[in-house]
Structure 1
Amino acid sequence: MSKVLCVGAAVVDFLFYLPELPERAEKFGTEDAAIVGGGCAANAAVAVARLGGHAILGARLGQDLIGDMVLDGLSKDGVDVSNVTRTPGARSSYSSVYVDAAGERQIVNFRGQGLVLATDWFAGIEGLGAVLTDTRRVSAARDALQFARECGVPGVLDGEAPIDPELLNHASHAALSMQGLKDLVPGMTPEAALLQICERYGCWVCVTDGEHGVWYADGGDIVHVPAFQVEPIDTLGAGDIWHGALALGLAEGLTERRAIEFANAAAALKCLKPGGREGAPTREETDEFLKERTHDTDTR
């Protein structure tokens, strides 16, 4: 079982399902809603656990009701939360999420107050296969990526905007959203931006663009890996699930191309189920989906 350390955000999402996303300042009603765990790192950790890995979470919470809800949900999903930092008097993060009939979402996030993320316990982790960190807390992300280098394992940066360029100096792999890429390297085509990042920082880099797939730099070339086409029910958490699956694939020794295909499959399956990360697929489901849908003959 490959071990992946996931560092960053852990929240609770309050989901409201609506026919259309709100555009007016008025009261809206819904017949369907849910309360689910969220946050980039927490969602990725759940993906790792459901896909058969050993997920360890490094996150920051308050000693409050929201923090209790976050840890309870993650523990039930098999995530190791024994080292999550909880700060007395701090307020945990949570989000209000609207999801429309097409599965698209609109999010308002309260980022919390007075939160601290300790990283001194990283050194006690043994047998690590990969590290994944989001960009929410720069100092913790830097510590996580440096720890990955010390361990000689992939250090994956989940690149949502805003991105501190310093983090790319420490990452072995940068997996950026299209928004994150444009924020980091404005005014360039995605292809040119990927090549510039690869040359400047010396890391492997890719950009994700939902249903349009993934592009990555391979030497001086740009390679496109198509997304698996599905009819989405709920896209909430799909990107986080993708990053968790990518990190696990790299921890298991997959090539970057194969890890992307594995992550694309996991994200596609998530989009077919409602409830944010509640729709994260199992390893059996993902492997079966890949057998049915991929025709790529490249080897691991």
Structure 2
Amino acid sequence: MTRNEGDRPLILSLGGINMDLVTFSDRLPADGETVVGDRFVTYPGGKGANQAVAAARMGARSAMIGRVGDDTFGPQLVDLLQSVGVETSAVGVTSETNSGIAVISVGEGGQNRIVQVLGANETCGDAEYDAVAALLPHASALMLQLEVSVSLSIRVAELAASQGVNVILDPGPVRAVPNEFHQWVSIITPNETEAEALVGYAIADAHTAANAAGGLLARGVGSAVIKLGAQGAYWADGQASGMVPAFAVEAVDTVAAGDAFNGALAVALSEGHPLETAVRWGCAAGALSVTRIGAQGSMPERHAVMALLN
């Protein structure tokens, strides 16, 4: 049963809060090459913050747990979260530390390359654990990524699992995680690159995604969803499995598509929908996000996702 107040589930996101510094050019440079771009912009991002915004725009109550630095970006990042309805009382400030940033190069067709500097995100610890603990009794899902320490993520995942709260892990950016982590994860949602890093071979289609999902289930996760970009997403829960095709759209910027996917997935599951339906919601949200430029700004509203699904 969904645990909520009224009709809106509470979704928690513990993770990165970044400012994205984005360049646009006709093509991405090769190693050692300089290309001339045509535009530079800054956008609020960070996988944790993106997913919190995605959940809020899908109609859930959304709470962000994380940290920003005491630089000029910190207050901007918090204000922007608040402006879309994300609760930020558990967002702390780390002194003499920069906020997380991501330097993103976007080429033709929306393909991107990203370099992150985690900054204040890496200072999350006991205070954030306590914040998650205080909110869990009211929550339906806890979304995690790997932009905060793995040890903290394991601690909160174990706590959430012990209280029957769904733990949804987006294993990016790729980091080594101990096998014990998997037993606390309800759903793991890697993209092709992350899945390859986890299982040790290339993920290119539904067949290889099925093999990867089986390997992740064997490690102890409850369910596995492999995000395959323009192909869609493969899901498996140990009893059933399937491939959900992507929605046909014209991509302009693929940044944060996976975060839109996870936010929609979390809300669908928290509203009692089965995994296959939740994956369809995720695919629809991800498809809409790539038609817009930016990270948090590309997270779609619920009515648009429902219209695409219908």
TM-score, normalization by structure 1: 0.90
SS at match of 1:198: helix
Once the two structures are superposed, what CA deviation does each residue of 1:24-65 show, in whole Å capped at 9, x if it has no partner? 546544442221111111100111111111111111222222
Paired position in structure 2 for 1:119: 129
Q: Are the structure 2 counterparts of residues 150 and 64 from structure 1 closer, same or farther at C-alpha, using a change threshold of 3 Å? A: same
Paired position in structure 2 for 1:73: 80
Paired position in structure 1 for 2:93: 86
Cα distance in 2 for partners of 1:28, 1:179 equals: 25
1:134 aligned onto 2:142: no
User: Displacement of 1:265 after TM fit?
Assistant: 0.4
Cα distance in 2 for partners of 1:142, 1:217 equals: 23
Aligned residue identity for 1:256: L
Q: Are the structure 2 counterparts of residues 101 and 166 from structure 1 closer, same or farther at C-alpha, using a change threshold of 3 Å? A: same
How many residue pairs get aligned? The number is 291
User: Displacement of 1:90 after TM fit?
Assistant: 2.0
Cα distance in 2 for partners of 1:200, 1:108 equals: 29
1:273 aligned onto 2:287: no
Paired position in structure 2 for 1:143: 155
What is the root-mean-square deviation of aligned Cα atoms in Å? 1.9
TM-score, normalization by structure 2: 0.87
- Aligned residue runs from structure 1 range 132-281, under 5 A: 132-136=143-147, 137-160=149-172, 161-164=174-177, 165-187=179-201, 189-219=208-238, 222-281=241-300
Q: Are the structure 2 counterparts of residues 166 and 91 from structure 1 closer, same or farther at C-alpha, using a change threshold of 3 Å? A: farther
Which shows bigger deviation, 263-272 or 144-153? 144-153
Q: Are the structure 2 counterparts of residues 30 and 193 from structure 1 closer, same or farther at C-alpha, using a change threshold of 3 Å? A: closer
User: Displacement of 1:134 after TM fit?
Assistant: 0.4
Cα distance in 2 for partners of 1:115, 1:263 equals: 30
Cα distance in 1 for partners of 2:31, 2:188 equals: 37
Cα distance in 1 for partners of 2:281, 2:209 equals: 23
SS at match of 2:219: helix
Cα distance in 2 for partners of 1:101, 1:257 equals: 32
Q: Percent identity?
A: 28
Contact 1:66 1:94 in 2 (8 A): no
User: Displacement of 1:264 after TM fit?
Assistant: 0.5
Contact 2:103 2:114 in 1 (8 A): yes
Identify unmatched segments of 5+ residues in structure 1: 292-300
Contact 1:162 1:184 in 2 (8 A): no
